[in-house]
Amino acid sequence: MDYPLWEVPLMGGGIVIALIAIVHVFVSHFAVGGGLFLVLTERKARRERIPELLDYLRRHARFFVLLTLVFGAATGVGIWFAIGLASPAATSLLIRNFVWGWAIEWCFFLVEIAAALIYYYGWDRFTPRTHQAIGWIYFAAAYLSLVVINGILAFMLTPGKWLETGAFWDGFFNPSYFPSLVLRTGVAVSLTGLYVLLTASMIRSERFRGRQVRYAAKWVFAGFGLLVPGGVWYLLSIPVEARAMAIGGAPAVTIFLGLSLGLSLFILLFTWLTAWRNPRQFNAALATLFLVVGFAVTGVSEWVREAVRKPYVIYETMYSNSLRPAQIDALAADGYLPRAKFVALHEVTSSNRLDAGRELFRFQCSPCHTIDGYNGIRPLIRGWRESFIALQLRNLDELKGFMPPFAGTDEERRALAHYLASLWGFPPEEHPVPLQEGNE
């Protein structure tokens, strides 16, 4: 309401955020777990005096730096652009409430970049002890970055006492903070195992390839050792309504949660059957398949995490269309259009009902719905006439708990209903303008 609208045809801004964010999550968690892998494996190589393992680590480090620092950083910047355009009000709230958290995270990220580059270029320039120390500095900075970001992301679903106090630490150490941290740590370790399976599968020596593939499988298993308890703990820590949506309240969300669990089980089982039991026969094709499935798990899991937050973008604080719950009653009395700063018109008249309805759809509905693309509204209202749509809009949040209530006067509600009915070519229904209470 207070910001311009960013419209993305057929996709919607939310899908743009999702596409960038899923890729970033898939890479950024490897940036954490992969740092631990490098330093622990270097330590193992030097202690056990395995020169071929050190040679492998040099090659793996190049892959790691290019993927995490270059591609991963680019997707991170992309997320900021996308959320700033698609959801500026929520982005502003998160920045203002956690400004020092963001500042600290950016400091950690700078240390992370510097340490990674020094580590990569320092194989022959530093003593083994110094080189490993740089690796530990990288991992510490990367994990602390996760520690900070996790608090802000968990806050969006479980703001906890922050709703009453508005205090930084109440928002940061929210009810799902520690469960989410355990869960994300498990994701980082298990994804590292999948990435290492790819680079290990390209080793020419069959004997050494078998050893490294089996070693990579251990990382997958270790990650799942954290994922299972972390996932259960996380599910128990989120709001009852959100948990109910995930375990049956919203069929699509439940299906995606089941898909996430099923694909995860696939990775675990086939890692054991192939990489663990027959490591010398493991190849790049299988490793690529595991990464693709891992990416799919990341995608559906992130979708579920976002979906259970509906109808909010920040739980009990801001709806997905950037309105706050406290604003709804005032907007019902005074109207949405008069208060909206960037709409094309500010009142409903008998001659502009269609245009007014279009503006209301753009600002209140398009954050989640397109017309004919992703989550398109036209197929969802097939056969619905204006009076029926108006009735649905009156009780929208009660009929569909994952949707925010309509915010506006009866006139505006009828204008939106008129516009939506026009998408199927239904003729306008005559209503007195302005409408008085009880004119239904």
pLDDT band, residue 433 (cuts 50/70/90): very low
Q: Stretch 130-152: mean pLDDT, rounded?
A: 97
> Model confidence over 328-377: pLDDT tens digits?
999 999 999 999 999 999 999 988 999 999 999 999 999 999 999 999 99
Q: Other CB atoms closer than 10 Å to residue 91's CB: what's the count?
A: 18
Q: Is the per-residue pLDDT at 25 higher than 50? A: yes
Higher pLDDT, 436 or 34: 34
Q: Is the per-residue pLDDT at 211 higher than 70? A: yes
CA distance 241 to 96: 27
DSSP one-letter string for 262-278 = HHHHHHHHHIIIIIITS
SS3 312: strand
Q: Stretch 407-418: mean pLDDT, rounded?
A: 95
pLDDT band, residue 382 (cuts 50/70/90): very high
pLDDT band, residue 440 (cuts 50/70/90): very low
Q: Stretch 278-288: mean pLDDT, rounded?
A: 94
Contact at 8 Å (CB) between 416 and 361?
A: yes
pLDDT band, residue 434 (cuts 50/70/90): very low
> Model confidence over 40-58: pLDDT tens digits?
999 999 999 999 999 999 9
CA distance 361 to 340: 13
CA distance 295 to 191: 9
The fraction of the chain above a pLDDT of 70, given in percent, is: 98
Mean per-residue pLDDT over the chain, rounded: 93
* Helices 73-86 + 88-97 axis angle, to 10: 110
CA distance 131 to 120: 9
CA distance 58 to 20: 29
The strand ranges marked E within 271-340 are: 312-314, 318-319
Q: Is the per-residue pLDDT at 437 higher than 80? A: no
| pLDDT given at position 350 | 87
Give the distance from CA 432 to its chain's centroid: 45
Q: Stretch 68-87: mean pLDDT, rounded?
A: 92
| pLDDT given at position 426 | 83
CA distance 401 to 391: 16
* 164 φ, ψ (degrees, to nearest 5): -95, -40
| pLDDT given at position 61 | 95
- CATH topology assigned to domain 13-319: Formate dehydrogenase/DMSO reductase fold (1.20.1630)
Q: Is the per-residue pLDDT at 379 higher than 60? A: yes
| pLDDT given at position 399 | 83
Q: Other CB atoms closer than 10 Å to residue 426's CB: what's the count?
A: 16
| pLDDT given at position 188 | 97
Q: Other CB atoms closer than 10 Å to residue 77's CB: what's the count?
A: 11
Which of 182-196, 252-266, 398-412, 418-432 is least confident? 418-432
* Helices 13-47 + 51-65 axis angle, to 10: 160
pLDDT band, residue 402 (cuts 50/70/90): confident
CA distance 64 to 222: 20
* Helices 353-360 + 410-422 axis angle, to 10: 90
- CB-based contacts of 11: which residues, under 8 Å, 6+ apart? 370, 373, 374
Domain boundaries, the chain: 13-319, 328-422
DSSP one-letter string for 354-401 = HHHHHHHIIIIITTT--SSSTT-HHHHTTT--HHHHHHHHHTHHHH-T
Q: Stretch 149-178: mean pLDDT, rounded?
A: 97
Q: Stretch 283-312: mean pLDDT, rounded?
A: 94
Q: Other CB atoms closer than 10 Å to residue 192's CB: what's the count?
A: 26
Q: Is the per-residue pLDDT at 380 higher than 80? A: yes
Q: Is the per-residue pLDDT at 432 higher than 60? A: no
| pLDDT given at position 431 | 57
Residues paired with residue 314 on neighbouring β-strands, in sequence order: 318
* Domain 328-422, CATH among 1.10.760.10, 3.30.465.10, 3.10.580.10, 3.40.50.1970: 1.10.760.10
Tell me the pTM: 0.91
| pLDDT given at position 287 | 96
